[in-house]
Structure 1
Amino acid sequence: MMDSDTRPSVLAQIRRNMLVGLFTLIPIWLTLILVSVILKFINELAAPMIKWMTVSVKPDDSIYAIIKSPFFNTSLSLIVLLLFFYLVGWVASRWIGQKALSFFEQTVDRIPVAKSIYRTIKRLADAMQTSSDNVERVVLIEFPSRDMKTVGLVTRTFKDTTTGRELAAVYVPTTPNPTSGYLEIVPVEYVTPTNWKMEEAMSFIISGGADVPKTFNYDRAPVRGEDLSKEEGRGE
């Protein structure tokens, strides 16, 4: 018969192992679902072309089996998808594409829910593709108070028209959904660079801080020529 002191520890170990197994499988399961959805979408892109290519080919021909194979289907879909991205990028960089995009955004702005979703996703996409020579892309800023810091993405840098002070527009994503967040305007000298890649920042945000490097830059290094007395006065 199992001792009363042993039973709770065994049950606790079983419960712990079950939880570890659950949390181990959840990200794998979600990843497989996402990959499955993406592959299904990609394969559907080439379906009309596959059907057109097999019209003039007999089923007993060797080329028919190649065309109908999943590998050919997926490869053709990827090529079509890449060409589509290129075409959209080419059109968007031209005058007619910018006019069409402007018309689309004006239409979306009239739809309350769609406007919010589109603007936040577009803001995040802009943050990922824009760059600045003066400020790191992934940074820490004091938010929501001076005693705390949060991860932000620098989307733009600009200057104060009165003082010429350099400012940064920092998008602060929320956890675990980075498509919603806050937009803060922060003086560049109060921005702390992290030396993180964008993927590392997204992983940190989506995982709720579970996926984070063992060390990273939390305290801002003094800027050469900076008036430290101003910094001390700011902390008082």
Structure 2
Amino acid sequence: MIRKYFVTGLLILVPLAITLWVVNLIIGTMDQSLLLLPARWRPEVLFGFAIPGLGTILTLLIIFFTGLATRNFVGNHVVIWWERLLTRIPVVNSIYSSVKQVSDTLLSSSGNAFRKAVLVEYPRRGSWTIAFLTGVPGGDVRNHLTGDFISIYVPTTPNPTSGFFLMVPRNETIELDMTVDAALKYIVSMGVVAPEHFEKKIIIDPAKVVS
């Protein structure tokens, strides 16, 4: 009986503790934006104590007004000039270009990354895992692949931020009828939180039914 109560308590407190830890980590990181302010304008100097979350508000405002400023003609040209400057700096050029391509793919509303969850045999035949469609092979890679290949990302469990990038034949994957969010929950929970079951509906054409 004691073990039962202990396990019940863990099931309630562990998700709560992890959620609070992640939220605290995010807020703590975003609060670092206060370091951009002059020392005399920081809450520790103005009020005599730190105000948690104030840096988060400042970060969100910076992101919002940056997006707002770059939507007009002048702001757009400033961004173009800034990117041209960065592309002329060695090392910085390769890092910035790579990060920008990834962020444009993931965050852009027109991007196609992580839009579909697929089932693939990995890491061996007969062993299946969930992966995410990221696109198709490009560049010189395409010249060395025969057939219809797709690019997929196979996340690790329970940390989906690390994983493996694979290029596999399209006919060796199975497109799943589940959202990316549901697939991520399934992966992070190590299969404990199973997605809802979708039964395929068979549509019968009355015209083909022979009475």
Q: TM-score range by the shorter chain?
A: 0.5 to 0.7
- In the superposition, the TM-score normalised over structure 1's length comes to 0.56
TM-score by length of 2: 0.61
Tell me, what secondary structure is at the counterpart of 1:208? coil
1:25 matched to which residue of 2?
Answer: 13
Within a 5 Å distance, the mapping from 1:38-117 to structure 2 comes to 38-46=26-34, 48=37, 51-52=40-41, 74-83=56-65, 91=79, 95-96=83-84, 99=87, 103-104=91-92
Displacement after TM superposition at 1:215 (Å):
1.9
**Pairing 1:147–2:129 present:** no
1:195 paired with 2:177, answer yes
Aligned residues of 1:136 and 1:194 also touching (Cα < 8 A)? no
Partner of 2:203: none
Q: Deviations over 1:101-143 (max 9, x none)?
A: 9824867xxxxxxxxxxx9x999868745417xx962111112
Counterpart Cα distance in 1 of 2:105 and 2:143 = 23
Pick one of 9, 12, 25 that aligns with 1:37.
25
Q: Which residue of 2 aligns with 1:176?
A: 158
Q: Give the residue type in structure 1 aligned to 2:26.
A: I
CA separation of 1:201 and 1:125: change in aligned 2, threshold 3 A: farther
Give the secondary-structure state (helix, strand or coil) at the position aligned to 2:20.
helix
Aligned to 2:194: 212
Letter in 2 for 1:173: P
Percentage of identical aligned residues: 25
Q: Compared with structure 1, are the counterparts of its residues 86 and 49 closer, same or farther at alpha carbon in structure 2 (3 Å cutoff)? A: farther
Q: Distance in 2 between matches of 1:101 and 1:19?
A: 56
Matched residue, 2:116: 137
RMSD: 4.6
Q: Secondary structure at the match of 1:170?
A: strand
* CA–CA distance in structure 1, aligned partners of residues 193 and 102 of structure 2: 20
Contact kept? 2:86, 2:92, Cα under 8 Å: no
Counterpart residue identity of residue 171, structure 2? E
Shift of 1:53: 8.9
For residues 199 and 93 of structure 1, what CA distance do their matches in structure 2 show?
Answer: 37
Query: How many Å separate the matches in 2 of 1:137 and 1:33?
Result: 30
* Range moving further from structure 2, 92-101 or 41-50: 92-101
Greater shift, 45-54 or 196-205, is seen at: 45-54
Label 1:53 to 1:33 Cα distance change in 2 as closer, same or farther (>3 A).
closer
Q: Could you tell me which amino acid in structure 2 is paired with residue 18 of structure 1? A: F
Deviation digits for residues 17-66 of structure 1, max 9, x if unmatched?
A: 21121132111111112112222333342462795499xxxx8xxxx9xx
The reply on whether 1:157 has 2:139 as its aligned counterpart is no
Cα distance in 1 between the residues matched to 2:84 and 2:198:
45
| Structure with greater Cα Rg | 1
